[in-house]
Structure 1
């Protein structure tokens, strides 16, 4: 029997399984439903579901019911949790292997040219304008060109989207207008990121050069009319900011179409 002090750390044991590692690598790039993961890894759905359940139990993967079809669920890899687990794994092997945070300046320094990013949601009033503003804020060196649109845009940006960006991040989007998906359908983008499950179903083809990514994020504006929606907007902004930080690392390491 291996003494507890010599046993492999939990992340190593969890990720060492070949199928679980494939699921982790697929979910590192986008949120997916079970049937999509089944197709991507070429394994039976019951086997994929079993290993997803183990990853969820370990806290590496989360799931959320689809807003397009409540019978479906989207699975999401918690990259921050993975980073913490990898750091603990390195320290368990040797203290010198502690992984520190990556310097923000390194995230875009290697990227030649500009990266064009499109965020999409249904109303272009909550999630996508927040994502657009946060990515522009995080990539203020001008290497990223970002816009957002909606399949059925609302007339105005939600007041709490404007408020959370101003109060929590010092970003002013007051006066910004919503944009229809049709106005950007013939543009070229390196990354097209859908933020709601409904718009993913109607997202047009932007060509082979565009990388399609899905982030399944609940609409913060769906809170009951008699409830304060600001806390929901604050949570969504934190989730988007976290995902955007990881996206910037992808920009630093890859090239469009690579």
Structure 2
């Protein structure tokens, strides 16, 4: 980890797990990035489907022609106002839709990307990729901006890996 290839942090979910993150910029400088098979759709999943998953799907739509959707394991009643505000600050086209339940949205051909630890740690979530993005809800605009920037970085990196 001292070489800057891997970072780690504790789970926001159960607090017992430690997540390791490969630093994409470092890997790309080593020439290890390669294209992967193109999925039918990318499904971003978080617990409440009120913040991170909506931001990720909207960011994905900006950089890829591959369809994207978002869902939650335990959907909230609405998109969090902080999410809407962050999208506006970053000029992101964010559709205001009702949060969806993952079981109602998931298709067998989807590439599932969990964007929160709690969703990833739910046994029924078939997360093929996991991005441990800290939950910005109830933490203020700076937390939403930090989540936005990290999601933007990861979405761009993932989209660049697919064959055209």
TM-score normalised to structure 2 length: 0.86
Per the alignment, residue 81 of structure 2 pairs with 159
> 1:207-232: CA deviations, max 9, x gaps?
xxxx7111111101142xxxxx1111
For structure 2, the 5+ residue unaligned runs are none
1:64 corresponds in structure 2 to: 9
The answer to which structure has the higher helix fraction is 1
Question: Are 1:239 and 2:150 matched, yes or no?
Answer: yes
2:98 counterpart (151, 159, 177): 177
Query: Which is higher, the Rg of structure 1 or of structure 2?
Result: 1
TM-score if structure 1 supplies the norm length?
A: 0.56
Q: Secondary structure at the match of 1:148?
A: strand
- 2:132 is equivalent to residue 216 of structure 1: yes
TM-superposition CA deviations, 1:129-178 (whole Å, max 9, x none): 00010001112xxx31110100111111111211222221x223253221
Aligned pairs (5 A) from 1:65-214: 65-83=10-28, 85-86=29-30, 115-139=40-64, 143-168=65-90, 170-173=91-94, 175-185=96-106, 187-202=107-122, 204=124, 212-214=128-130
Cα distance per residue 1:14-43 (max 9 Å; x no partner): xxxxxxxxxxxxxxxxxxxxxxxxxxxxxx
Deviation by residue 1:183-212 (Cα, 9 ceiling, x = unmatched): 124x23331111111111225366xxxx71
Aligned length: 161
SS of 2:108's partner is coil
Larger relative CO (CA 8 A, sep 6+): 1 or 2? 2
Structure 2 partner of 1:91: none
Q: Aligned in 2, Cα 1:245/1:175: closer, same or farther, shift over 3 Å?
A: closer
